[in-house]
Copies of this chain bind each other. A is one copy, B any other.
Amino acid sequence: MGRCHNGRVSVSNTTRTAGVGQSRPGGRSARIRAAVHRAVQELLAECTVESLTIPMVADRAGVHATTIYRRWRSIGELLASVAGHRFSGEVVVPDTGSLRGDLEQWAADVATDLADPDVLALMRAAVGASGPEHGANVCVADRRAQLAAMIERERSRGGDPPEVSLVEDALLGPLYYRATFTERPGDPEWARDLVARVLG
């Protein structure tokens, strides 16, 4: 338990960092969630997703497996929960004063985030572990809301921005496509160039 079964190097118990016994802000429920989420992220960095089980996560997090099953009924739900948490926050909506400036900074930040191998591993696991009802959607829900907010702000400034769906196709499309399906996640310069293509 708590070790990978595929021969890759595993973190030994003595180097655990996610035990619930450690003090964290928030109540016991928040501590458990944080420990379980961190255990999943650690294990994904060490194991294949196929080898991941709830008892293994429980062991790494220092909680009982039943505690995990009570909140997340399957490894798929758990992965979606971790991904949803990871893909909220991290990237913030910039406020540069212009839509172009906002989108350039934001797209560059998303590209940087998606180039992180740990983020990629979590995203791929969340995509694979689920139907459309949970999993993949949570990797983009916050980004879509951020994009809509930037475009709405431009409209409230009296600007005439493109439709959200058009910008979503032009920015989130290639950003997530490259990260998910190719060996070359985007870099910030390329991401800023995507903005120039859609805004002209």
Residues of A within 8 A of B (CB): 6, 48-50, 74-76, 120-121, 124-132, 135-137, 139-140, 166, 168-170, 172-178, 180-183, 194, 197
Identify which of B136, B174, B183 contacts A173 (C-beta below 8 A). Answer: B174
A181, B140: Cβ atoms under 8 Å? yes
Identify which of B75, B129, B139, B197 contacts A181 (C-beta below 8 A). Answer: B139
Please give the count of copies of this chain that the complex contains: 2
What are 20 A-B residue pairs whose CB atoms fall within 8 Å in the complex? Answer: A50-B74, A120-B132, A121-B131, A124-B136, A125-B128, A126-B128, A127-B127, A127-B128, A132-B182, A136-B182, A137-B181, A137-B182, A139-B181, A169-B173, A173-B177, A173-B178, A174-B177, A176-B177, A176-B180, A176-B181
What chain B residues lie within 8 Å of A177 (beta carbons)? Answer: 169, 172-174, 176-177
B174, A169: Cβ atoms under 8 Å? yes
What chain B residues lie within 8 Å of A128 (beta carbons)? Answer: 49, 124-129
C-alpha spacing A145/B170, complex, angstroms? 21
The verdict on A194 contacting B181 (CB below 8 Å), with A49-B129, A124-B128, A127-B128 known, is no
Identify which of B131, B132, B183 contacts A132 (C-beta below 8 A). Answer: B183
C-alpha spacing A139/B177, complex, angstroms? 11
A182, B48: Cβ atoms under 8 Å? no
The verdict on A170 contacting B174 (CB below 8 Å), with A124-B130, A132-B183 known, is yes
Residue of A49, A120, A132, A175 contacting most chain B CB atoms (<10 Å): A132
Chain B: minimal CB distance from A194 (Å): 7
